[in-house]
Structure 1
Amino acid sequence: MELSVNKNQNTAGGKADSTDSALAENRTSAAPSIRKRIILLGATGSIGRQTLDVIRQSPHLQLVGASVHSNVASLAQLIEEFDLTLVCITDETAARGFSREGVRVLVGAPGMEELARQDCDIVLTSVVGLAGLKATVAAIETGHDIALANKETLVGAGSLVMDLARRHGVRIYPVDSEHSAIFQSLQGYQTSDINRIILTASGGPFRGKSRQDLEAVTVEDALKHPNWSMGRKITVDSATLMNKGLEVIEARWLFDVAPEQIIVHVHPESILHSGVEFKDHSVIAQLGNPDMRLPIQYALNYPERREAVTPPLDLFAVGRLTFEKPDRQTFRCLELAYRALKLDGYYPLIVNTADEVAVELFLTGDIGFLEIAELIEFAMERFGRSGELTLDGVVELDAMLRRDLAQMYRNR
């Protein structure tokens, strides 16, 4: 089974029809002696660094290109370590004066798009936010398979991206631990076999707190995730449950299911990463240690399973697995994400971009924790519109919100 193919194929459950276009049969992998060439967009972020760790432990994986935003010191080390001859620096100021003999240095967002079009076997995109959208589109149009760690691409432009992938026969492999778990649980099955998707959430550092408890939350409090080591933005999103809301939207597009079929379960141990309830009410789920290297490895090697790069799961040490309903009244970001998904059109994009603006304002101390949801709802009410997406429309609305939303919210 693979995501986003444009052919009907036989699967373990029978012949796929048009509703199953996101799911197809397993393919035979390349011979182990053949190296898989990888272009990594966002090499110095949390996912990027863990991807590099997977590549280091996998002799059959070869890094052939990488992008960074402004961390040119780390890029210089990557050029040396992986013998790179093609790189990109998206921050034009940071790129000034950077050169290495025998290395072609691309610059800016257009440079990242050009990098994504270069010859490779798979592009792993882990650039934060919608900055990765055009590069992902460029890779798809070139015919490259995608390992997707940039959830905002599907949240902001899901119908566009999935339709484009189908038309170009491109496979999209999810890297998020939750979507990877769903993807793994669906092996051998079809979309029509799904009853519900079980999407798990750790609950973040404020699980069980009331709105009154959250009024005095500090940035330091929000960045203390109990299980995962992640970047600042995604860690705050986990604290508000917006991260889970964005994953609900992403799952809708990846697995072609209705919003009401995606059920969030708070699972504080972060061991059962997500699963699928099938139409016969059987549930298949994927378990593992909370370590992003496992879903990264699976996406880069699919359909093979390679020798582990992570420690084994010790269920005796875990002891128990618990599950709770999310509090969508206290953690309103999750509720807003569901609302945006049902309204469709540009609403999911607005939620995504408004959240990026709000989280940045929270991290700089300009708004309180509970105001993150308030700003997002303000943006939905002020700019929300349904209708068919266009790539230009997505890019223009995203840019306008980034430029003007914070000031509009202050002046409301």
Structure 2
Amino acid sequence: MPRRLLILGSTGSIGTQALEVVAAAPEGTFEIVGLAAARQWESVVAQAREHGVTRIALADADAAARAGEAWTDGEVLQGPEGLVRMVLESGADLVLNALVGAAGLGPTVATLGEGIDLALANKESLVVGGELVMQLAEATGARILPVDSEHSALWQLIQAESRTGTSAAREAGTIERLVLTASGGPFRGRTREELARVGVEQALKHPTWAMGGKITIDSATLMNKGLEVIEAQHLFGTGYDRIDVVVHPQSIVHSYVTLNDGAALAHLGHPDMKAPIAFALHHPERRPIPMRPLDLAEVGQLTFERADEETFRCLPLAREAGRAGGTAPCVLNAANEVAVHAFLSGAVGFLEIAEIVEETLNRVEATPVHAFDALYAADREARDVATALVAERA
């Protein structure tokens, strides 16, 4: 029986590469039961036609209306409710959530609530609602399969060490530290004075990965790595004092773990997202994919350095929000989304992204989280505060 796969965020970098992984798999491995995106309706319709999908969803109502007019071969769902309905009614065995931002939380909750396995590329689901999301997965028995290259690497290393999964490794106590690697983004080595003058075009020129605008800016500010630290804490149950970040410009070492006997295990490979996508979609099997094998002699040199947390303030801000817990990571994420959008539109400067996030965290009190409603309320309040801070700088 084919694995019934629903792809949310099918028009983005992860979604399009996931479709390539599916196309490269042996016939009958997957059946795509639905596709969804934020607003790129023409691309979703084209994907649906190519893959024989009869149901799509678009978060943007106008985009959904246009898709409904242009495509009469199936059903078009719209809005955040449409994304959730797609999950609930798809009959999927596996949902790939590659949506960008906090919009991915609702579909994540719906997926896990139904006991459906989740291939997770939407890190904000765990940043915003990690405590409740992990509790929900445990309650229903649904698996969360990391798709981010760093977390996929850690997952594979922990599995290899424990032989039976993440919990056994923690209980055995053999893994001492988790180390996430960061490319350093386009501004590695720059001073604050230099960063005060950079523009959007420069910030979007990532040296290693081809990604969407928001995540590329997050990489430039190192917020992306801060969000990944929070995500790793929830996925692997490791304390923040045992999660490190190391800058590695070549992006060959995707992450590594240190062990209690002084040894370290690292996951290496060319920077290609098809590898972690394929690992999650095919899990527990490892299937061959058309990738160039790693030749370290050809690479020649791997370098590492500490992250400059004084210049790139978003990384320590994320770590502090993670330690605070409750709604603090939700506030951090909401403020960052507003600030990044403002930067992309030219309303604020690059360094002001971290300033807006920090001031929002100072103004919005963090509270414990007992239900998802508290997260949605904190998200709204943080966005209002951050929007006002952007307006003050205009």
Same fold (TM over 0.5): yes
Are 1:79 and 2:44 counterparts? no
**Contact map agreement 2:11 2:43 (CA 8 A) in 1:** yes
Distance 2:19 2:48 in 1: 12
1:234 and 1:243 in contact (8 A); partners too = yes
Match of 2:148 among 176, 180, 197: 176
TM-superposition CA deviations, 1:276-301 (whole Å, max 9, x none): 11222221111111111110000001
Matching of residues 217-236 of structure 1 within 5 Å: 217-236=198-217
Aligned 8 A contact 2:183 2:247 in 1: yes
Does the Cα contact within 8 Å between 1:343 and 1:386 map onto a contact in 2?
no
Residues 98-121 of structure 1, C-alpha deviation per residue, up to 9 Å, x if partnerless?
334451221111110011122111
Structure with the bigger percentage of helix: 2
Which segment is superposed worse, 399-408 or 158-167? 399-408
Distance in 2 of aligned mates of 1:268 and 1:325: 11
**Contact 2:10–2:37 (Cα < 8 Å) also in 1:** yes
The answer on 1:132 being equivalent to 2:104 is: yes
Q: 8 Å contact 1:157–1:389 — kept in the other structure?
A: no
User: Is 1:112 aligned to residue 83 of structure 2?
Assistant: yes
Residue in 2 that maps onto 1:14? none
The alpha-carbon distance between structure 1 residues 92 and 409, as it changes in their structure 2 partners (threshold 3 A), is: closer
Instruction: Please report how far the alpha carbon of residue 393 of structure 1 lies from its aligned counterpart in structure 2 after TM superposition.
Output: 1.1
Secondary structure at 1:336 match in 2: helix
1:212 aligns to what? 193
- Gaps (5+ residues) in structure 1? 1-33
Contact 2:342/2:390 (<8 A) preserved: no
Q: Name the residue aligned to 2:7.
A: 40
1:386-409 per-residue CA deviation (whole Å, 9 max, x = no partner) reads: 323420111122133334522245
After TM superposition, give the deviation of residue 383 of structure 1 in Å. Answer: 0.2
Answering whether residue 164 of structure 2 is matched by residue 191 of structure 1, we say no
CA contact (8 A) 2:360 2:385 kept: no
Aligned to 2:74: 103
* Contact 1:378/1:409 (<8 A) preserved: no
Aligned equivalent of 1:294, options 270, 275, 278: 275
1:411 and 1:308 map into 2 onto residues whose CA distance is 50
SS at match of 1:47: helix
* 1:238-259 deviation line (CA, Å, top 9, x unaligned): 1111110000000000000100
Q: Tell me what 2:166 maps to.
A: none
2 CA distance for matches of 1:319 and 1:97?
51
- In structure 2, relative to structure 1, the CA distance for the partners of 1:360 and 1:330 (3 Å cut) is same
> What number of residue pairs does the alignment pair up?
379
CA contact (8 A) 1:63 1:82 kept: yes
Letter in 1 for 2:136: L
Offset of 1:132 from its aligned partner? 1.0
2:351 maps to which residue?
Answer: 370
- Residue 310 of structure 1 and its aligned partner are, at CA, apart by 2.3
Measured in 2, the distance between the counterparts of 1:393 and 1:78 equals: 36
CA distance in 1, matches of 2:261, 2:243: 17
Q: 2:258 aligns with which of 259, 266, 277?
A: 277
TM-score normalised over the length of structure 1: 0.89
| 4+ long deviations beyond 3 Å | 97-102, 408-412
Mapped partners of 1:97, 1:63: distance in 2: 22
What SS does the corresponding residue of 1:381 show, helix, strand or coil? helix
